[in-house]
Structure 1
Amino acid sequence: MRPFNPLFVFIYYLVGFVSAILHPTTVEGMEDLPRSGVLLCPNHASNWDPILVALRLPVNYRLHIMAKEELFRYPLLGWLLHRVGAFPVSRGSNDIQSVKTAIQSIKAGDNLLVFPEGTVVRNGVGCVDGLPAHAKGGVAMIGVRTGAIMVPVFVDGEKRLFHRTRIIFGKPYQPVYTGRHGTAEEMQKIADDILEAAYALGGQAVGGTPLCREE
């Protein structure tokens, strides 16, 4: 587990204070959230999502975040993400090291946040090449191989300054698979199910409205 870090605590409360002004949030379902070995699986509509979710969890929740490496290219954002427990993943490639880091964090008793869609998926108003939301099987593989408690999370899509964003934590999801690690088809179904559960918390359906993917 990560040791107590006074700098992290200072940043947590400082950034939390600023974000509460710019992007206030309301939270539901925290009372059912397990304390350790949790794999949080939110929908992904904005680059603000990992920060907003992380800052509404307890300061001692020991959260790690798998985030796209492009975010770490912005000096301030990258610095903040590192301080709140994030690590980069290279999309479009077989990033073995990131997967190992993710698995190790769960096995160490910490918690992990992974976006099943693997990229930002916005409401597709005005999009030319709208694509439906789609889960990546990797999130299921991490959950199954670590025995993590998989929890769907819904985050409101539109982020407007000084307007509230809903964050809803769902009930733990129990994956069903055969054998020790399941088949590729079973992993994909688990990933699709957890993403569908996340959207359902917000009263939305996966692929029910035009969505556009931001690479």
Structure 2
Amino acid sequence: MSEETAVKSEKKTKETPEQRKKRMDWFFHLLYIIVWPYFRLIHPVYAVGRENIPDGPAVICPNHTTAGDPFYAVFAFGYRWPMRAMAKVQIMRVPFIGWILSKAGVFGVDRDTTDVRAVRTAMKFLKEGDKLLMFPEGTRVHDGEDVQAKVGAALFATRTGVPLLPVYIQRKKRRFRRNTVVIGKPYYPEYEGRKPSSEELQVMAQDLMDRVQALGEGVG
């Protein structure tokens, strides 16, 4: 095969953003259907504020206390709203699990480094109109712990012009009883100049977590 023919063949097989979105949505819905019955029975989700979910792209920002929080967020939004998700890179290295998650739009981030590839992937999804699920705290936070919010969500929102969507997931999960997820109103963080300074990003990050915590007042 000549070099010219190889290039033409590669162009023909390369996915367009629309094709990639369709494929990832298909795998997302497949995983949704497989996992949903278990959660519906063992960890039923009670969603509040679904009317606040925007039609277009947004950075979905829940608090994070248990390993199952991504599922609580996904099932609170429902089958209609596929989303991409940022997960720690160790999960994506698990055989088969990492592969199937990547097919559904989950991508890994190395929290110990400045993961430029993960940043580019996140912004690419947002620019292509997808919803991005990420936890602003960066890790699970247990009762009594005080963790400074990371600036990633604010950075992605301001770089791509999409809103932040605060979400509160009930901290103490209960089996066979409803677990509440509150979806807040989307908003655009404000800043001066062409792009926010590092100080402004940190203020945005803290404001975001304050909004998330406010949603949980009286929930538990």
What is the TM-score normalised by the length of structure 2?
A: 0.82
Between 146-155 and 62-71, report the one with greater CA deviation: 62-71
Cα RMSD over matched residues?
2.0
Q: Tell me, which stretches of 5 or more residues in structure 1 are unaligned?
A: 125-130, 205-215
Q: Tell me, which stretches of 5 or more residues in structure 2 are unaligned?
A: 1-17
Partner letter of residue 159 of structure 1? K
Structure 2 residue aligned with 1:210: none
Partner letter of residue 45 of structure 1? T
Structure 1 residue aligned with 2:212: 198
Residue 53 (str. 1) matches residue 67 (str. 2): no
Offset at 1:173? 2.2
Aligned with 1:20 (options 24, 40, 62): 40
Aligned with 2:179 (options 165, 187, 198): 165
Offset at 1:77? 5.1
Offset at 1:99? 0.5
Structure 1 residue aligned with 2:105: 85
In the TM superposition, 1:118-137 aligns within 5 A as 118-124=138-144, 131-137=145-151
- Greater per-residue helix proportion: 2
Aligned with 2:50 (options 19, 25, 30): 30
Computing the radius of gyration over CA atoms, which structure comes out larger, 1 or 2? 2
- Identity among equivalent positions (%) equals 36
Aligned with 2:62 (options 39, 42, 46): 42
- Structure 1 residues 78 and 164: CA distance shift in structure 2, 3 A: farther
Offset at 1:163? 3.1
Offset at 1:123? 1.4
Partner letter of residue 145 of structure 1? R
Secondary structure in 2 aligned to 1:102?
helix
Secondary structure in 2 aligned to 1:171?
coil
Separation (CA, whole Å) in 2 of partners of 1:192 and 1:40: 15
Separation (CA, whole Å) in 1 of partners of 2:178 and 2:97: 21
Offset at 1:72? 2.9
Secondary structure in 2 aligned to 1:198?
helix
What is the TM-score normalised by the length of structure 1?
A: 0.84
Offset at 1:6? 4.3
Structure 2 residue aligned with 1:139: 153
Aligned with 2:167 (options 146, 153, 156): 153
- Greater per-residue strand proportion: 1
Residue 187 (str. 1) matches residue 198 (str. 2): no
Partner letter of residue 152 of structure 1? P
Secondary structure in 1 aligned to 2:195?
coil
Secondary structure in 2 aligned to 1:16?
helix
Between 15-24 and 155-164, report the one with greater CA deviation: 155-164
Residue 117 (str. 1) matches residue 137 (str. 2): yes
The answer to whether the 8 A contact 2:163-2:189 is kept is no
Separation (CA, whole Å) in 1 of partners of 2:96 and 2:206: 33
Partner letter of residue 99 of structure 1? V
Secondary structure in 1 aligned to 2:194?
coil
Separation (CA, whole Å) in 2 of partners of 1:89 and 1:135: 16
Separation (CA, whole Å) in 1 of partners of 2:121 and 2:46: 30
Structure 1 residue aligned with 2:89: 69
The answer to whether the 8 A contact 1:11-1:83 is kept is no
For residues 157-213 of structure 1, the C-alpha deviation after alignment (integer angstroms, 9 at most, x for no partner) is: 122332322111101123111111111000000011011101110018xxxxxxxxx
Aligned with 1:107 (options 127, 130, 143): 127
- Structure 1 residues 79 and 24: CA distance shift in structure 2, 3 A: farther
